[in-house]
């Protein structure tokens, strides 16, 4: 028997290194509890800085385990590209949503929540709550 599917996380950054590092950071900080997928979609296909709709769609497909996908994006075109794909296209899996969340803190909160088996709405909410944690 398979376990209940978990929500997948997609990390969209202008930089491949940032996306991959934040995915590793979130997985590491979730310790042994990180069982939900966190897939990086960073930079352009040739490794440059920018945003690639194809890399985002591909990452979303790989993160999708049947329970929906939550995307986090860093800046500008990363945010606009995800919003455009959500509004207009059929490139993202059904139930995909963009979290209005800080990139690093949101990724950690979302991955912990997704690994606990929460649904996509709860995972996005956990990421968005990361805004309320003040640092001063």
Partner 1 sequence: MVGRAGRHPRAALGTVSGFVGEQRDMRDGREPTGAPRDAAFFRHWLTAVAEAVEEEADRLTELDSAIGDADHGTNMRRGLAAAVSAVEEERPPTPGAVLVLAGRTLVSTVGGASGPLYGTLLRRTGKALDDAPEVDLGELAGALRTGVDAVARLGGATAGDKTMLDALLPALDALGDGLDAAARAAEKGAGDTVPMRARKGRASYLGERSIGHQDPGATSSALLFTALARTARAADGEGGTP
Least distance to partner 1 from the beta carbon of 61, Å?
A: 15
Based on the shown chain and the rule CB under 8 A, indicate whether residue 21 belongs to the binding site for partner 1.
no
Least distance to partner 1 from the beta carbon of 44, Å?
A: 5
Question: Looking at 53, 116, 122, 125, which residue binds partner 1 (CB under 8 A)?
Answer: 53
Question: Looking at 32, 88, 134, 136, which residue binds partner 1 (CB under 8 A)?
Answer: 88
Based on the shown chain and the rule CB under 8 A, indicate whether residue 92 belongs to the binding site for partner 1.
no
Based on the shown chain and the rule CB under 8 A, indicate whether residue 44 belongs to the binding site for partner 1.
yes
In the bound state with partner 1, the residue whose beta carbon lies nearer, of 53 and 116, is 53
If residue 8 lies in a helix (H) or strand (E), which one and from where to where? strand 8-13
Asked whether the CA dihedral 69, 126, 110, 33 is positive or negative, the reply is negative
Question: Looking at 24, 28, 66, 83, which residue binds partner 1 (CB under 8 A)?
Answer: 83
If we measure between CA atoms, which residue out of 40, 63, 64, 62 comes closest to residue 52? Answer: 40
Q: How far from chain centre, in Å, is Cα 79?
A: 12
Q: How far from chain centre, in Å, is Cα 103?
A: 9
Give the chain's count of helices (H) and strands (E). Answer: 5, 4
25: how many CB neighbours lie within 10 A of its CB?
Answer: 16
Based on the shown chain and the rule CB under 8 A, indicate whether residue 13 belongs to the binding site for partner 1.
no
Alpha-carbon distance of 35 to 113, in angstroms, equals 10
User: By CB under 8 A, which span of 61-69, 73-81, 103-111, 119-127 interacts with partner 1?
Assistant: 73-81
Interface residues with partner 1 (CB under 8 A)? Answer: 44, 48, 50-54, 76-77, 80-81, 83-85, 87-89
């Amino acid at each position: 028997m398979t376990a209940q599917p978990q929500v997948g996380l997609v990390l969209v950054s202008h930089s491949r290194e940032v996306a991959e590092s934040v995915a590793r950071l979130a997985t590491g900080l979730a310790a042994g509890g990180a069982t939900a997928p966190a897939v990086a979609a960073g930079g352009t296909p040739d490794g440059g800085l920018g945003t690639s709709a194809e890399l985002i769609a591909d990452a979303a497909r790989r993160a999708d385990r049947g329970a929906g996908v939550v995307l986090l994006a860093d800046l500008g075109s990363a945010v606009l590209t995800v919003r455009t794909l959500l509004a207009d296209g059929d490139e993202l899996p059904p139930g995909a949503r963009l979290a209005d969340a800080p990139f690093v803190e949101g990724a950690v909160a979302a991955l912990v929540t997704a690994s606990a088996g929460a649904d996509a709405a709860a995972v996005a909410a956990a990421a968005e709550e990361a805004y309320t944690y003040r640092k001063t």
